[in-house]
Amino acid sequence: MGGRGRSDTALDGPHGFDAMLKARQASKSAVNFGSFVGASTVRQYVKGMAPGEATPEEIAAMQQLVRLAMQDGAFGVGSALIYPPGEYATAHELAEITKPSGEYQGIYISHIRSEADRFLEALDEAFEIGRKAGTPVVIYHLKAAGKRNWPKETLAIERINSARKAGLDVSACMYPYTAGATGLTSVLPPWASSDGKLFENLADPRVREKMKTEMAMQETDWENLGQLAGAEGILITALNKPENHAFAGKRLSEIASMQNKDWRDAAMDLILTEHTRVEATYFVMSEENVKRQLQEPWMMIGTDGPGVDPEGMKGHLIIPRVYGTFSKILGRYVRDEKVVGLEDAIRKMTSAVTRRLSIRDRGLLQEGLFADVAVFNPDTIIDLSTYENPNQLSVGVEHVFVNGVAVVKSGKVTGALPGVALRGPGWQR
């Protein structure tokens, strides 16, 4: 499916999701790939960037889009509820548009509405959406964000275990780092992006002053990452304009000092001049909580990041989890610190994920299944990527096979592109 106002192409048609996967496969890939259908994607298709509750007619239109995507092989519905327009969706809307996912045995996966001050309430909302929609629930990159919220981690785990005991199929995924990555726009109140007028609002002195006031509030009804991380805990990782190059790789507090500005003005000016969300890293999590989560049997592992080529990323910073997630767990938390056992860690990276996505022919070393296999040295595997110097490959991975074809051999990329599209349980071939 495409966006409002786009030309009528194959991706905009009634089976645009299928067309997207076929187009991706035609362009070739070293790895297999698949997708959820975005709750924000279908909302934007039907309602644009307008805030406010969806009407019954709009919800029905969104349901049909989800139904078609499930038939095309979506794994379920994914929501991201701290970003516009996802932030505008009510729990009722999300439950209703997710119901077609339940009809096709899909799941509901969510970047919940709060990972901070309303963390526990946001978990309850996700549980309720899953119950009403008739789908399993996965909490995306589970975390307690902001030092004042770190003690909630234990309560959140108890909340999930209680829901599981009560019969709800709920689990979570995570990455093993204490910083997250998203746009610098996450320091702005969500209403700033209403109706697609973000940059217009940033250029309006009166609107900008209202934003600046809300950005300074310790307690808000939105996920105020500027306050949760603090300007000193926000690392700017990518800037495109020549006039801003000197600020890449610096903390927002440093940039504000260099410009002799309040950090809020520095952030808004960067977003306005770059005319994009501006990629940033936020240091908001606890190492103890990372270890605690790794031990939960219902936890799965994911990078929450894109696949990148380190050669093409020279001069750019990126969150290190895109290079080091799995090797960090196997080297540091399994071998060195013994936080979790080797077999359990591998299960959380492989079969736990394929089973959750209803992919029955992958994820195990078993006769008759596709040969997606990683061969690593448990004595040497470790991540090398850091926040300051991220574009470094891990060591200790010797061979990788995708669909039985070697894409990494003796530690070197082969150039083979055997990846295929993977489809969810509702796929109608």
The C-alpha atoms of residue 229 and residue 57 are separated, in whole angstroms, by 40
Measured in residues, the chain has a length of: 429
Q: Judge if 302 and 263 occupy the same domain.
A: no
167 and 308: one domain?
A: yes
Asked if residue 296 has pLDDT above 80, the reply is: yes
Does one domain contain both 153 and 68?
A: yes
Of the residues 253, 283, 313, which one is the last residue of a structural domain?
283
pLDDT range class, residue 315, cuts 50, 70, 90: confident
Place of tokens 């960090």: 328
**Domain end call among 267, 283, 299:** 283
Q: What is the mean pLDDT of residues 214-218?
A: 94
User: Are 150 and 213 part of one and the same domain?
Assistant: no
Which of 11-15, 260-264, 404-408 shows the lowest per-residue confidence on average (mean pLDDT)?
11-15
Reported confidence tier of residue 314, pLDDT bands at 50, 70, 90: confident
Q: What is the pLDDT of residue 68?
A: 96
C-alpha to C-alpha distance for 346 and 131, rounded to whole angstroms: 30
Q: Residue 43 pLDDT > 60, yes or no? A: yes
For residues 274 and 307, membership in a common domain is answered with no
**Helical residues (DSSP H) of 88-180, grouped into ranges:** 91-103, 119-133, 152-165
Assess whether pLDDT exceeds 70 at residue 411.
yes
> Is residue 9's pLDDT more than 80?
no
Model pLDDT, residue 12: 66
- When pLDDT is cut at 50, 70 and 90, the band that residue 8 belongs to is very low
Whether the pLDDT of residue 10 is over 90: the answer is no
Final residue in a domain of this structure, among 283, 313, 328 = 283
- Token code pair at residue 59: 């919800």
Whether this prediction's pTM lies above 0.95 is answered by no
Q: Check the CA dihedral 290-321-302-170 and report its sign.
A: positive
Q: Give residue-wise pLDDT tens across range 335-381.
A: 999 999 999 999 999 999 999 999 999 999 999 999 999 999 999 99
pLDDT, one tens digit per residue, over 119-163 is: 999 999 999 999 999 999 999 999 999 999 999 999 999 999 999
Residues 53 and 154 in one domain: yes
Average of per-residue pLDDT across 235-247: 92
The CATH number linked to 140 is 3.20.20.140
Neighbours of 125 (CB within 10 A): 20
Q: Looking at the 3D structure of the chain, how many domains does it have?
A: 2
Does 118 lie in the same domain as 186?
no
Closest CA to 180 of 86, 264, 289: 289
Looking at the structure, tell me whether residues 308 and 250 fall in a common domain. Answer: no
Strand partners, 183: 279
Same domain assignment for residues 406 and 268: no
Given a cut of 60, whether residue 11 has pLDDT beyond it is no
Structure tokens at 31: 């790895």
Indicate whether 169 and 196 sit together in one domain. Answer: no
Q: How confident is the prediction for the chain on average, in pLDDT?
A: 94
pLDDT for residue 310: 82
Residue 124 burial (10 A CB sphere; 0-12, 13-18, 19+) = middle
pLDDT band for position 4 (cuts 50, 70, 90): very low
Listed as own residue / partner, the contacts of 253-256 with beta carbons closer than 8 Å and 24 or more positions apart are 256/231
Same domain, residue pair 91 and 213: no
pLDDT score of 60 more than 50: yes
Give the separation between CA 429 and CA 426, rounded to whole angstroms.
9
pLDDT digits (tens, 9 = 90+) for 74-90: 999 999 999 999 999 99
Q: Which domain holds residue 251?
A: 182-283
pLDDT at 111 over 80: yes
Please give the full DSSP string across 167-216, using - where no structure is assigned. Answer: T--EEEEE-S-SEEEEEGGGGS-GGGGGGG-HHHHHT-HHHHHHHHHHHT
Domain co-membership, 132 together with 268: no
Q: State the Rg of the chain over Cα.
A: 22
